[in-house]
Homo-oligomer: A and B are copies of this chain.
Amino acid sequence: MQKHDQDFIKRKNRTTVFEIIKNHSPLSRAEIARLTGMSPTTVSRIVAELDHLDFMHEIEQETTSVGRKAILLKVNPKSVLSVGVEIDKTAIRIGAVDLDGSVIGGKSIARNAEESSEATLGSIAAGINALIDDERLDRRRIVGIGVGLPGIIDHAGGKAVLSAQLGWKQADIAGLLKERTGLAAAVDNELKVKSLAEHMYGAAKGSKRSVLIGFGSGVGSSLIIDGDIYRGESNSAGEVGHTVVDPGGLRCDCGKKGCLQTYIAEAALIEQASRVKPVASLDELFQARRDGERWAADIVDRAMAFIAVTIGNVACMYNPDTVILTGKLVERYPEVRAFIAEKCMSEYVWEPLRGTFRIAYSAFEQDGVIIGSGLLAQGRFLDIASQIEQMEQN
C-alpha cells in the first residue's frame, strides 16, 4: 500500500474511533470493534494513542451480571475547545466552550455603542488571547472561534453584511480575528447560534425540529431541522419580525409598514409609552402596568397578544415539535410568561396544531450565544485527526 493511502486510512480510523466514543460513550473497546468493524488490535492501538494525548479517559463500571468491573471509555470533554463570542450593543462576552457545551472562564468586556467593527474586533482578539493565558488553555486544543451577533450575517464568508444594532456594514469578522489570533472563526446570527445551543444541550435536546424565537431589541426566530440550522438562501430564514401584520400600520426601521416587530420590539414599546408619559425602559412600563395605569396595560396587553400571535404564526409556518422562547420580554417579566401559559395555546395557536408542540424557555439565557457560537465553531472546524497529528509533533 502507498504511504499516502496508509496515512489516509490511519486518519480515517482515528476519526471514526473518536466519533464513536464521543457519540456513544461510555463504551468498551470490544463495542468499538463491533460498531466499526475494525480489528480489536487496531482499536486498542488507536484508543492507546487517544488516551495518551488525553482525548479520552477510562472509567470503571460494575457490570450487572457477575460483578466484574468493565473498562469503559469516555471522551474527555476538555480535550477539544473552541472560543465562543457574543457581540451586543454595549457588551462583548467571551468564553472557552468544551465538547459538552460547558463554558470555561467566561468574561465580559464593555463596548462603546458607536464602536467600529475594527475597534470591537481588536478588543475581542485581545480578550481571547487574555482568556487563553488566564485559563492556561492549550492552544493546540482550540479548534477555532465562533461569533454570534445581531444582524444579517454572511455565514459562509464570515462577514456581518448589516448589523443595524451595532452600526456595522460589511464587517469582515472572520478575517480580522484570524489575523489577530491565528484562529479560524465561524460567524452567525445570534439567534441561530443560540438555537443550536438549545438543540444540542438545552431546552430542545432530542427535538427533530425546534424553533427558537427571540423577543428583544428586534424579533426573530431560528429553525433547527434534524440538527442543522435552516439558513435559507441568504442565511435570513426566520425573520418573523419583518413579516407584515398590518400593511397600513406603523413604519418599521426597515422601511416597510406594519412589520410585526413594530408591535413588540423594546424600542417600539418604549416609544409608544413615551407618547403618554416619559418612560425610559421596559421595567418602567411594566411597573406602570402593575401600578394600575390604564395606558400601560393597553400597551403591554397588546404586546403580549402579539407575542402569542408570533408563536402561533411561527408554528403555522414551521410546524415544529418544540418552541423555545428567549429575550428580555419573555424572560424578565413573569406576567408575560403567565399570559403565554394561560392563553397562547388555547387562543392563539391554530387548532390542528395544539398539542403538536411544547413551549419551553431557554435553558441558558445569559450564556446561550457563547455556547452556541462555540459549538458552531466545533462543528465547522473540528478535525480530530489533524489535531492528534499536531499534538504528536509537539
Interface residues in chain A, defined as those with a beta carbon under 8 Å from any beta carbon in chain B: 152, 161-162, 208-209, 221, 225, 230-240, 242-247, 254-256, 305-306, 309, 312-314, 316-321, 347-348, 350-353, 356-357
Are the C-beta atoms of A233 and B313 separated by less than 8 Å?
no
In the bound complex, CA of A233 to CA of B351 (Å)? 14
Instruction: Given A231-B319, A233-B320, verify A348-B209 contact (CB < 8 Å).
Output: no
Are the C-beta atoms of A232 and B306 separated by less than 8 Å?
no
Instruction: Given A233-B321, A238-B317, verify A348-B244 contact (CB < 8 Å).
Output: yes
Besides A236-B352, A238-B317, 18 more A-B contacts (Cβ < 8 Å) are A161-B352, A209-B233, A225-B225, A231-B319, A233-B321, A233-B357, A234-B352, A234-B356, A236-B316, A239-B317, A243-B243, A243-B317, A245-B245, A247-B305, A247-B306, A255-B351, A256-B351, A317-B317
Are the C-beta atoms of B352 and A152 separated by less than 8 Å?
yes
Instruction: Given A233-B357, A351-B255, verify A240-B316 contact (CB < 8 Å).
Output: yes
Q: How far is the CB of A170 from chain B (nearest CB, A)?
A: 13
Q: How far is the CB of A366 from chain B (nearest CB, A)?
A: 28
In the bound complex, CA of A230 to CA of B318 (Å)? 9
Instruction: Given A236-B352, A309-B247, A351-B254, verify A317-B318 contact (CB < 8 Å).
Output: yes
In the bound complex, CA of A318 to CA of B350 (Å)? 20
Query: Across chains A and B, which 10 residue pairs bring their CB atoms closest together, nearest first?
Result: A232-B319, A237-B319, A243-B313, A239-B316, A242-B350, A245-B245, A317-B317, A236-B319, A233-B321, A234-B356
Closest to A230 in B: B225
In the bound complex, CA of A316 to CA of B218 (Å)? 14
In the bound complex, CA of A356 to CA of B235 (Å)? 11
Are the C-beta atoms of B209 and A244 separated by less than 8 Å?
no
Closest to A235 in B: B319
Are the C-beta atoms of A234 and B353 separated by less than 8 Å?
yes
Are the C-beta atoms of B350 and A254 separated by less than 8 Å?
yes
In the bound complex, CA of A313 to CA of B314 (Å)? 11
Closest to A309 in B: B244
In the bound complex, CA of A383 to CA of B339 (Å)? 52
Listed residue (A236, A238, A305) with the most chain B CB atoms within 10 angstroms of its CB = A236
Are the C-beta atoms of B245 and A352 separated by less than 8 Å?
no
Are the C-beta atoms of A234 and B319 separated by less than 8 Å?
yes
Closest to A349 in B: B256
Q: How far is the CB of A278 from chain B (nearest CB, A)?
A: 28
Q: How far is the CB of A87 from chain B (nearest CB, A)?
A: 19
Closest to A237 in B: B319
Q: What are the residues of chain B within 8 A of A317 when measuring CB–CB? A: 221, 237-240, 243, 314, 317-318
